[in-house]
Structure 1
Amino acid sequence: MHRPSAAEAQFAAELAVVRPGLAARYAAELPGARAAVLTRLWRGLTHEPLPWIAARQTGRDGLTLRLSDGRRLHGPHPDPYATAAYVTVVRLDQAAYDDPARLMTGLGVPHGAGLAAELTDSVLSLALSRAGQASRTEKWPVSDWEWEQRIVDGHPYHPNCRSRPGFSVAEQLAYGPEHRPLVRLGLVPVRVDECLMTGAWPSELRDGDRLLLPAHPWQAEHVLKRAVTEGLDAHPLMSLRTLALTDGPQHVKTALSARLTSSVRDISGYSITMSATLSEFAEALSEHTDGLLHFTRTLGAATADSPDLAAVLRESPQVYGDRVLPVAALATTHLPNSPAWLAEFTRLALTAGLRLLELGVALEAHGQNLLVVLSGSDAPVRLVYRDLADIRVSPARLARHGVPVPALSGRIVTDDETTLRRKLFGSLVAGALAATAGSATALRGALEIAVRDLPRTPDLAALLEQPLPAKALTSMRLSPGTPGDQWTELPNPLF
């Protein structure tokens, strides 16, 4: 029988106070949440270049990892593209582990204690997210934010899929999109001459010579340390810090200085500076996709000279169709169960992504940034992309195709082919498409059909002939002193 840790006991005690009616359902969801996080952790252990794993040996009954200290970790044959929780227990020598946090503690590797705490938080938050779900009807959502709030389990492959350190139980219920709250954003007045602003800041968010910057209530309380009364009502979207305003079609991305999965979610001055240029550039890019891909426009961005107090206003993806949903939400529908539908969606996504990559733009096209527009008969007809902050742009490729090079600088700009391909293939193929397919077998079937008629570019050749790049999500959490993304290679399902 599982013995609750101190963190688990404290979480349950908080829940019993703030939402006692969820306690029984939450307890019932804990075993499944442990298996879901353990499955994600096993993916990292079996496929990432961790220095304390000396060898990986495949046997008839599963996979054995031989550790550098001589111990052996054994579990089922891994499927790096699986989204179902198929790992319920692994064995470290003779000890069996069904809890990912206790497994990480038992491994005793550098920085493992910190990751173990995050894994505990991920399990507890995931169980709470699942416990709070209402019965789902067959009626499809109408509003964009309703689609986003159907996504319960968070990142499909990150072991910290639901980790929200610094959030109490009450705060998770109050701000987590899967709990369907209405959030009151604060409005912080800042003098215009003290702000960095790009784009057009709307008149309704001005007060004379001051800008009114939307602030997330968690940020206002824990980081800004100020009470904010006046504000805007909004529905939280799947990224938590981005919300859909109730009184208009705009989305607002707020600063949220908390670590969610891998990153602290503030808004840098660099991203504010680049936002208007990127938005104008993206509008021009749409003309090169034959109507297959649209970009949501950035309406305005401002910061009070601090990543802790900043906001970005964007148009809603729903301006591009009545039935627009994030790719991550496809898994909540019946659509991916059809191999024909999955292949057609895969063809659409690869056509648009590879065309832009050939031109010189690599999208961070994971299931949150990439949205699909469906016809009345559920056919995927075009795509919408949002949040340009993490794309990569190649001036050399743009120039080769006669596309004007925008005035960009910093991390966005690169001509390195490996970097460009990692960005697109890691997010789109090993991310959005794999998670939609749900398994290596389904992904292989969709790719085999989708790639038949695609133009034979060097980028497509790399996709077909090389292992798939993917972010080494577990390694990144076990090396906190190493900045930036780390990468691994996954088996290419096509060979």
Structure 2
Amino acid sequence: MHRPPTAEAEVAAELAALRPALGPRYAAELPGARAAVLTRLWRALAHEPLPWITGRTPGRDGLALRLADGRLLEGPPPDPFATDAHVTAVRLAGTVYDDPARLTAALGVPRGTGFAAELGHSVASMALSRAAQEPSSGEPDPSGWPRHDWEWEQRVVDGHPYHPNCRSRPGFSVAEQFAYGPEHRPVVRLGMVPVPEAECLVSGAWPDELRDGGRLLVPVHPWQADHVLKRACDRGPAARPLMSLRTLALPDGPHVKTALSARLTSSVRDLSVASVTGAATLSAFGEALAARTDGLLHVTRTLGAATAGSPDLAALLREAPDAYAGPGERVVPVAALPLTGLPRSAAWSAAFARLALTVGLRLLETGVALEAHGQNLLVVLGPSGAPLRLVYRDLADIRVSPARLARHGVPLPELPDRILTDDPTALRRKLFGSLVGGALAGTAGSRPALAEALATAVRHLPRTPDLTALREEPLPVKALTLMRLSTGGGGDRWAEVPNPLAG
């Protein structure tokens, strides 16, 4: 029976036609990419509440998972915070698998066929991303660091440190990955769609340079123009893509968040009409919160947002994080911190953890849980590389407690109902899952390193019920694979991993 070509083979064929000299390097990177994605998948299988895993016990390799159909899946001891590709193979019913896509297909779980295809794309895209990189000296000397935050973002090659779909880009050809993927360092020419102002909803101040008489010029990502809007656009400015792919840095500083209706990692993301109309209010709320942190946190302002009444044609202009760097300072996304060489120092990691937890827990006590993962959270580094302050961007997925705000005398603006909750579990999940289980864990790279940094940091923090929960309860993390395989609608789903502060 004829088998369709794998994502790896499809990419190889496109690469042979487009950049044949890169083919051998791509092939050489495939085994490492499989291990990197398999490591992320094994983390999910070991810890997430997947309904078709009925038991977890010690096994001959470290861990054994009992499936609902009676088969046994065996692999190494899981470290939920490891970022190295330490899982090179697992055994399912005695058969060895080193390919996460083939393993998922063999599991035969509900909705697994589509997920397996995405994992294949993740492997192939990661191998392509790695193959296209120039050799790096790994120089930790701050004098040789990039000057712009977008340059740091383009150094993040492997994507999300814990999501198996870390590099999945279905719907993007190899040529489009080279043209739009930030790790390939392209310059992207945005499109502009003129829309009569009367047909637009605007939040904040839409800049004069994006107006043409009585029309607003709405920036459009070229992939969106080709595949979704299916129309030609006027030529706009050249921009640099950031980690989120759909957000780009404009030459004069601001970042523009475009509509890009493609599935990246877990879901298809858009710019909803509600998120555009509420952007200015949420931005002002973020500024007021930052003012309560004694200068330890800055929140990038939303300069303007516009939509032509559709999530497929909308854009948001946001202040660049670089605006908060002083002389000799650098603003680095947390996801890029491992590339600086600094987090290898236990003292540096503890100082960063203390800074991040001080800000996060203070805001949580006030009534706001940040989604402070490695993409939303940035750190201002001093000339010596010391962590000085934090910068946060994209308030769309925070959680806000009206009751906590009222206790602290903070007025509650008109915010979307979906982000309001007084449930302490929901608030703590949002902050702890993103900041501790995401940003700090990804920076530390292992459970021992994370435990050491946290243990040093929490000694200096005010004792609150939230800190007690962080110290004593299992650590919540997003169940990313469960979310991808579920059919019960959107929204976060959660797993619990062993608390690195325990024991």
Pairwise TM-score range, normalised by the shorter structure: over 0.9
Aligned match for 1:225, one of 230, 233, 244: 230
On the 8 A contact 2:59/2:74 being kept in 1, the answer is: no
Q: Counterpart of 1:201?
A: 206
> Which residue matches 1:280?
284
The correspondence for 1:405, drawn from 405, 412, 427, is 412
Does the residue aligned with 1:49 lie in a helix, a strand or coil? Answer: coil
The 5 Å alignment of 1:128-147 reads 128-137=128-137, 138=139, 139-147=144-152
Q: State the distance in 2 between where 1:355 and 1:101 align.
A: 42
The residue aligned with 1:258 is 262
Residue 61 of structure 1 pairs with residue 61 of structure 2:
yes
Task: Name the structure 1 match of 2:439.
Answer: 432
User: Post-superposition shift, 1:284?
Assistant: 1.1
- 1:11: how far off? 1.5
Aligned match of 2:76: 76
2:296 is aligned with 1:289? no
- The alpha-carbon distance between structure 1 residues 303 and 92, as it changes in their structure 2 partners (threshold 3 A), is same
SS at 1:325 equivalent? strand
Q: Using the alignment, how far apart are the partners of 1:258 and 1:474 within structure 2?
A: 18
- 1:276 alignment partner AA: A
Q: For 2:249, which of 244, 247, 262 is the aligned residue? A: 244
1:150 is aligned to 2:155: yes
3-state SS, counterpart of residue 304 of structure 1: strand
Matching residue of 2:118: 118
> Match of 1:376, SS?
coil
Query: 2:172 corresponds to which residue?
Result: 167
Q: 1:405 Cα deviation (Å)?
A: 1.2
Match of 1:396?
A: 403
Separation of aligned partners in 2, 1:375 and 1:10: 45
User: 1:285, CA displacement in angstroms?
Assistant: 1.1
Deviation digits for residues 18-70 of structure 1, max 9, x if unmatched? Answer: 12121111110000000000000000000011111111001463100011111
Q: Which residue of 2 aligns with 1:50?
A: 50
The one-character-per-residue Cα deviations of 1:120-146 (angstroms, maximum 9, x if unpaired) are 000000000101111224321011110
1:94 & 1:282 partners in 2: Cα distance? 53
Counterpart of 1:314 in structure 2 is: 318
Letter of the aligned partner of 1:215 in structure 2? V
Pairwise CA distance, 1:481: 4.0
C-alpha distance in 1 between matches for 2:309 and 2:19: 39
Unaligned stretches of 5+ residues in structure 2 = none
* Residue identity in the other structure for 2:237: L
Matching residue of 1:345: 352
Task: For 1:182, give the aligned amino acid.
Answer: V
Kindly state the Cα deviation for residue 283 of structure 1 after the two structures are TM-superposed. Answer: 1.0
What CA distance in whole angstroms lies between the structure 1 residues aligned with 2:458 and 2:60?
A: 33
Which deviates further from its counterpart, 131-140 or 217-226?
131-140
Alignment of 1:466-481 (within 5 A): 466-481=473-488
User: What's the offset of the Cα at 1:109?
Assistant: 0.8
Aligned length: 492
Q: Answer yes or no: is 1:492 the counterpart of 2:496.
A: no
**Cα RMSD for the two superposed structures:** 1.1
C-alpha separation in 2, matches of 1:254 and 1:300: 12
Determine helix, strand or coil for the equivalent of 1:26.
Answer: helix
- Is the Cα–Cα contact under 8 Å of residues 8 and 123 in structure 2 kept in the other structure? no
- Equivalents in 2 of 1:158, 1:4: separation in Å? 26
Measured in 2, the distance between the counterparts of 1:343 and 1:5 equals 47
SS at match of 2:278: helix
What is the rounded CA distance, in whole Å, between the counterparts of 1:61 and 1:140 in structure 2?
41
One-letter code aligned to 2:70: G
- In the alignment, the residues of structure 2 paired with residue 66 and residue 460 of structure 1 have an alpha-carbon distance, to the nearest angstrom, of 35
One-letter amino acid of the counterpart of residue 21, structure 2: G
Question: How far apart are the structure 1 equivalents of 2:373 and 2:494?
Answer: 16
Deviation string for 1:125-183 (max 9, x for gaps)? 00001011112243210111101000000000000000001101100010000000000
In structure 1, the residue corresponding to 2:91 is in which secondary structure? strand
SS in 2 for 1:126: helix
Question: C-alpha distance in 1, partners of 2:57/2:350?
Answer: 33
Which shows bigger deviation, 429-438 or 12-21?
Answer: 12-21
Contact 2:169/2:263 (<8 A) preserved: yes
- Pick which of 309-318 and 410-419 moved more: 410-419
- Asked if structure 1 preserves the Cα contact closer than 8 Å seen for 2:402 and 2:412, the reply is yes
**How much has 1:434 moved relative to structure 2?**
0.2
1:482 aligned onto 2:489: yes
1:74 & 1:123 partners in 2: Cα distance? 21
> Unaligned 5+ residue runs, structure 1?
none
Specify the SS of the correspondent of 2:261: strand
Runs (4+) off by over 4 Å: none
1:465 aligned partner? 472
Contact 2:63–2:77, Cα closer than 8 Å, also in 1: yes
CA distance in 1, matches of 2:376, 2:290: 16
2:407 partner letter: R
Distance 1:7 1:380 in 2: 41
- The reply to whether residue 9 of structure 1 matches residue 9 of structure 2 is yes
**Structure 1 residue identity aligned to 2:159:** G
Cα separation, 1, equivalents of 2:340 and 2:148? 16
The aligned amino acid for 1:69 is: D
Give 1:266 shift: 1.0
> Can you list the C-alpha shifts for 1:399-419, whole angstroms capped at 9, x where unaligned?
100111112132111111111
Q: Which residue type is aligned with residue 93 of structure 1?
A: A
